[in-house]
């Protein structure tokens, strides 16, 4: 799972995705766990550089086949961030 935090105007927004790219289903992060973002702040797959919106998971370009990442629900419970569950039928 990949969790992304974005800050705009002093507040935080959170998103979580199954860590599988829509191109060739490789993990989005690099082998060392680093997550890449392009100059616009878009999330970039480390394998072949498909580009995704970091908060919605929509494919913005590259070889992601126009398909969005699989979202995982994120909510807040007091001071806690609650993530999940992963949608049924999604491979690990």
DSSP string, 14-26: EEEE-S--TTT--
Interacting residues with ligand FES between 40 and 79 (CB under 6 A): 45, 47-50, 62-63
- Tell whether residue 21 is a contact of ligand FES (CB under 6 A): yes
Smaller CB separation from ligand FES, 61 or 75: 61
Interacting residues with ligand FES between 27 and 46 (CB under 6 A): 45
For 76, counting Cβ atoms within 10 Å of its Cβ (0-12 exposed, 13-18 middle, 19+ buried), the class is exposed
- Tell whether residue 16 is a contact of ligand FES (CB under 6 A): no
Q: Which residues bind ligand FES (CB under 6 A)?
A: 21, 23-24, 26, 45, 47-50, 62-63
């Amino acid at each position: 799972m990949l969790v992304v935090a974005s800050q705009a105007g002093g507040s935080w927004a959170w998103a979580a995705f199954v860590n599988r790219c829509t191109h060739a289903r490789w993990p989005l992060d690099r082998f060392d766990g680093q997550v890449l973002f392009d100059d616009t702040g878009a999330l970039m797959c480390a394998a072949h550089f498909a580009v995704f919106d970091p908060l919605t998971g929509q494919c913005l370009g590259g070889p992601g086949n126009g398909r969005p990442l699989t979202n995982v629900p994120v909510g807040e419970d007091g001071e806690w961030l609650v993530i999940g569950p992963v949608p049924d039928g999604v491979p690990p």
